[in-house]
C-alpha cells in the first residue's frame, strides 16, 4: 500500500504478562506460540502487509524477540529495542526517541486483529488530517479491557466492572507532534489526548478482535485466526496414514505424523514434527504446537497443546491450554463447563442446545505433569513444574 508520507511501525511487546501465569515463568508473553508462530508475529505481519519497511519492537528481551521474529521477515528492517521500565507509559514515552520522524502506527504486541483493521485505521488517519487516530471497537462487556470514551476529550481507561461500550484495540496512529507531547507527558496517553482536545480522530472497527491478556484468550485467538481458512493445507513432508481422516480446513506442517484411524476435523492446526496417535480425535479450533504428542484414542477439542507437550492415551482435553513440555498422562479428563454464575474476565459464553454456558477447561503451566486417570474440574490452574499424582480430582 502506497502513502504520500513515511510510515513507521512500533509494536509494544514489553509487558510482563502477569495475567498469563502460569504460562510465562520462562517465556515472555510475545513469544508464546500460536498456530506455530509467536504471538508478536501477528501484529508484525499486519504492519508488513501494509507496506511498512521499518518496524520497531519494544520488548524486555530484544535479543530473544529479534531472533524469533527475524525468522519470518527477511525484507523488512526490524529494530529490536529494550524497554525501559515495566509499564505502558514507559514504552509510550520511548516511541518519539526511536521513531518520531513520520507517521507512526503503534500496536500492542498482544492484540490480534485482521489486517483489514490496520488498513481501516491507517486510511481513516490519512483522510482525517489529524495528528492522532485511536482505533476502537464495540464490546458488550468491557470488563478487563481499555475503554475509549469519546466526548469533548477522548479518554482511555481500564474497566473493572461489567458495562458495554467501546474498547481500545491497542492501535494508535500518531504524527510527530503527538509523539513529542507523549514524550513530554512521560507516556501518559490521557494527558496527551487532553492537549489535543478536539483534534483526535477516532476510527471504528466492527470486526473481530482479541486482546490476549489471559491464557484462555489464546483459545479465542485460535478460533479467529483460523476463521478465514477454507481448505486443507498439508505439507508434502507430513506423514499421514492412508487410514487417517482429515475433514475441513486443516493445516498440517512439515514432519507431522498422523497415525492409523486418527480423525482431524477442522479447523485444526498440527505443527512441525507433531504426532497424532491411532484413533485420536482432534477437532474444533485446536492447535497442536511443534513436537507435541497426542496418544492413541485421545480427544482434543478447542485447545492449545504447547511445544513438546504430551497428552496420553485415552485422555480428553477440552477448552484447555497445556503449557510447553507438560505431560498429561493416560486417561486424564478435563471438565470444561463452568458452573452457572461463575464469571471469568474476557470469557464469553456460548449457546449450546439453546442454553448459554461458559466453557473453560484446565490451564496447565510449562513442565507440569498430571498423573494418569485424574479428573480436572473446569477453570483449574496447574502451576509450572507441578506434579499431580494419578487418580487425583483437582477442583
In 3D space, the residue among 363, 375, 370, 362 whose CA is nearest the CA of residue 386 turns out to be: 370
263 located within any domain:
yes
Residue 3: predicted pLDDT: 44
Burial 179-217 (b: 16+ CB within 10 A, else e): bebbbebebbbeebbbbbeeebbbbebeebbbbbbbbbb
User: Read out DSSP for 90-154?
Assistant: HHHHHHHHHHTTSEEEEEETTEE--HHHHHHHHHHHHHH--SEEEEEEEES--TTSEEEEESSSE
Cell of 156: 482511555
Q: Are residues 119 and 200 both part of a single domain? A: yes
On whether both 132 and 30 belong to a single domain, the answer is yes
Same-domain check for residues 128 and 267 = no
Among 213, 246, 269, the domain-final residue is 213
pLDDT at 1: 42
Q: What is the CATH number of the domain that holds 82?
A: 3.90.550.10
Domain housing 364: 233-394
Q: Quick one: which of 150, 139, 166, 137 has its CA closest to 201?
A: 150
Q: Are residues 166 and 284 in the same domain?
A: no
Quick one: 253 and 190 in the same domain? no
With the CA atoms of 223, 220, 370 and 252 taken in that order, what torsion angle do they form, in degrees rounded to the nearest 10? 30
- Same structural domain for residues 331 and 390? yes
Q: What is the mean pLDDT of each run of 10 residues along the chain (395 residues)?
A: 71 84 88 95 96 94 91 91 88 90 93 96 96 97 94 93 95 96 96 96 97 96 93 95 96 98 97 98 98 98 98 98 98 94 83 82 97 97 97 95
Say if CB 235 and CB 252 are below 8 A apart. Answer: yes
Same domain assignment for residues 253 and 162: no
Same domain, 158 and 205: yes
31, 6, 170, 27 alpha-carbon torsion, rounded to 10°: 10
Enter the C-alpha cell of residue 384: 509450572
Same domain, 132 and 160: yes
The pTM of this model reads 0.94
What's the confidence (pLDDT) of residue 2? 42
Last residue of a domain, one of 178, 213, 248: 213
Has residue 15 been placed in a domain?
yes
Contact 324, 27 (CB under 8 A): yes
**Amino acid 344: pLDDT:** 87
**Shared-domain flag, residues 296 and 168:** no
Domain match, 350 and 305 both: yes
Quote the CA–CA distance of 60 and 14 in Å, as a whole number: 5
Q: Which three cell numbers stand for residue 199?
A: 483534534
Q: Evaluate whether residue 223 is within a structural domain.
A: no
Q: How far apart are the first and last CA of the chain?
A: 52
Asked if residues 285 and 264 have their Cβ atoms less than 8 Å apart, the reply is no
Residue 218: inside a domain, yes or no? Answer: no
* 54 is a domain residue: yes
Quote the cell numbers at residue 218: 489464546
- Per the structure, the count of domains in the chain is 2
Domain CATH code at residue 289: 2.160.10.10
Helix H or strand E encompassing 381: strand 381-382
Q: Is 206 found in the same domain as 272? A: no
Q: Which residues of 10-21 are buried (b: 16+ CB within 10 A; e: fewer)?
A: bbbbbbebebbb
Domain boundary, last residue among 213, 248, 267? 213
pLDDT in tens, 342-373: 888 888 877 777 778 889 999 999 999 999 99
Amino acid at each position: 500500500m502506497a502513502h504520500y508520507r513515511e510510515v513507521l511501525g512500533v509494536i509494544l511487546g514489553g509487558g510482563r504478562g502477569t495475567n498469563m501465569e502460569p504460562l510465562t515463568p520462562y517465556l515472555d508473553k510475545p513469544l508464546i506460540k500460536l498456530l506455530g508462530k509467536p504471538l508478536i508475529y501477528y501484529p508484525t505481519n499486519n504492519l508488513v502487509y501494509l507496506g511498512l519497511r521499518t518496524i520497531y519492537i519494544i520488548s524486555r528481551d530484544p535479543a530473544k524477540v529479534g531472533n524469533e521474529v527475524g525468522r519470518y521477515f527477511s525484507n523488512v528492517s526490524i529494530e529490536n529495542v529494550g524497554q525501559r521500565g515495566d509499564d505502558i507509559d514507559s514504552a509510550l514515552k520511548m516511541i518519539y526517541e526511536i521513531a518520531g520522524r513520520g507517521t507512526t502506527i503503534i500496536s500492542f504486541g498482544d492484540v490480534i486483529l485482521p489486517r483489514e483493521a490496520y488498513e481501516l485505521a491507517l486510511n481513516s488517519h490519512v483522510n482525517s488530517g489529524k495528528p492522532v487516530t485511536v482505533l476502537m471497537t464495540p464490546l458488550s462487556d468491557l470488563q478487563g479491557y481499555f475503554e475509549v470514551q469519546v466526548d469533548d476529550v477522548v479518554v482511555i481507561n481500564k474497566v473493572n466492572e461489567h458495562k458495554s461500550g467501546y474498547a481500545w484495540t491497542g492501535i494508535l496512529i500518531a504524527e510527530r507532534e503527538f509523539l513529542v507531547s507523549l514524550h513530554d507527558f512521560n507516556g501518559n496517553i490521557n494527558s496527551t489526548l487532553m492537549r489535543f482536545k478536539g483534534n483526535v480522530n477516532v476510527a471504528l472497527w466492527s470486526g473481530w478482535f482479541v486482546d490476549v491478556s489471559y491464557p484462555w484468550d489464546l483459545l479465542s485467538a485460535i478460533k479467529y485466526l483460523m476463521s478465514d481458512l477454507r481448505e486443507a493445507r498439508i505439507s508434502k513432508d507430513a506423514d499421514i496414514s492412508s487410514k487417517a481422516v482429515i475433514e475441513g480446513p486443516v493445516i498440517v506442517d512439515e514432519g507431522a505424523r498422523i497415525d492409523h484411524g486418527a480423525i482431524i476435523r477442522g479447523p485444526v492446526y498440527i505443527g512441525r514434527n507433531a504426532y497424532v496417535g491411532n484413533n485420536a480425535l482432534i477437532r474444533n479450533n485446536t492447535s497442536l504446537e511443534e513436537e507435541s504428542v497426542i496418544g492413541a484414542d485421545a480427544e482434543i477439542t478447542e485447545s492449545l497443546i504447547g511445544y513438546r507437550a504430551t497428552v496420553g492415551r485415552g485422555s480428553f482435553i477440552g477448552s484447555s491450554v497445556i503449557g510447553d513440555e507438560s505431560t498429561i498422562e493416560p486417561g486424564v479428563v478435563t471438565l470444561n463447563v463452568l458452573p452457572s454464575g461463575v464469571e471469568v474476565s474476557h470469557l464469553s459464553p456460548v449457546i449450546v442446545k439453546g442454553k448459554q454456558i461458559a466453557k473453560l477447561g484446565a490451564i496447565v503451566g510449562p513442565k507440569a505433569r498430571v498423573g494418569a486417570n485424574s479428573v480436572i474440574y473446569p477453570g483449574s490452574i496447574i502451576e509450572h513444574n507441578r506434579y499431580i499424582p494419578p487418580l487425583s480430582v483437582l477442583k
